[in-house]
Chains A and B, each alone.
Chain A
């Protein structure tokens, strides 16, 4: 009454109106579109070829996503992971990408295969999808569009170690057998470049994808007196190793990052032992975090991955992305596209402590901070660091 007399306002009505306004504002603010779910896809070789680059990373990505969902705060979005098999073929990569887009409406795609990465990169940009290659990082991939990120070792750095080792051992004539895909071609080229620079004779022979008989090439190399054999390819080169030894070739063998594929050993019938290759183990990265992850992996899947670097890199790549994704509701403007926002966030990552070491991402979307070392194939499934 007094209030009404003084202010000429009906207090009850005013309070009711204010309550109504408050409720409306609350509803409006609740209606503001917080991102609740982010769908991530992974395309990798789960069958047929290079499965060490597909199964291990897929498992690692699952662990990272499960850990994120388990520990996330209520306001952070839920992440779903959908996995598809490309059998290490770029054509399959395109098909599976389309499928993931169509059926799961993915916002981010991880892919192991470099050619597959190239094949879908423009489509990903068009769709507003962020593309991450968690295994390879090379100059060719860095030429792709701004939605493509490479959170992995540098292919050139890793494979140039082979050339340096050849120089170090004083070898004079190097035969390089090259599997016809982008990754192995870049490996061969970077190796050749360094050998050329140091005046060491070398020859790259690109073989057929499905080839299992290399006798012709090997006989030719033996005849020409090559004293070092570099196998930049996958498990079928196990046959080449076996055939080389059968032909009496005693020269040292060198290989790429994929030697630990069990099929490689089987195909070589043990002749792979003694081959030097570039590889990555927990000792090359953050020993504590890497072992912690490998223990979790073993606990989850019953065994450790036979090749540790692909899951380690994939785990770091996913965690790095999730580290940004979880901030979406705080950092993304409503008028910003998802890929625009995540691209900016990822380009600003200057220090991420992962299992592979401290990682930063450059403006070209390529990571820095993962460095491979030289290892010797000691016995089946086991490598030992080369003491130099």
Chain B
């Protein structure tokens, strides 16, 4: 159970992006989050994936309350989430080849057993073929890079997937392929999914449940108290 309650989050030096937002995702469920741009849905996804410490509110992961974010969070909690970001160009280190990119979480967690085979199997699964794995990010297309980023998110076999506008800048066939890989992985492992996006048609088809951003805000916060 991924349970965000009355979360307020923002960035230093600015007023909070959102206040008192609550969202619950059941294990194995896929939840789609729809919202206009700039409303804070990416920030909420970052809070959920332990990448951004909220200013207020609580996050319970499988019944356990999360008290620390980013590096302070225990490694097991951080790696329970596979995160795919919106812009593959920015979310891939430009110095690593795609093979290193995918293998990086395995190396970081010290899990080096059969590393090459596992990376190769995962690459085949996301559709990275041929010599693509030996190329660097600037030598591949956005779609191919996003495939590698999805492989990186899956390589530690996370219990939760957070896809932050994963397909926003991809064509229809790549979108279909990536969504297919995610669904195949979820069918196999029963992982939960939080998919953020603004494409209602896609999220409706992809997710068990689609929620509007406006419905997440706790009614008390909407009252003109401030």
Q: Do A and B bind each other?
A: no
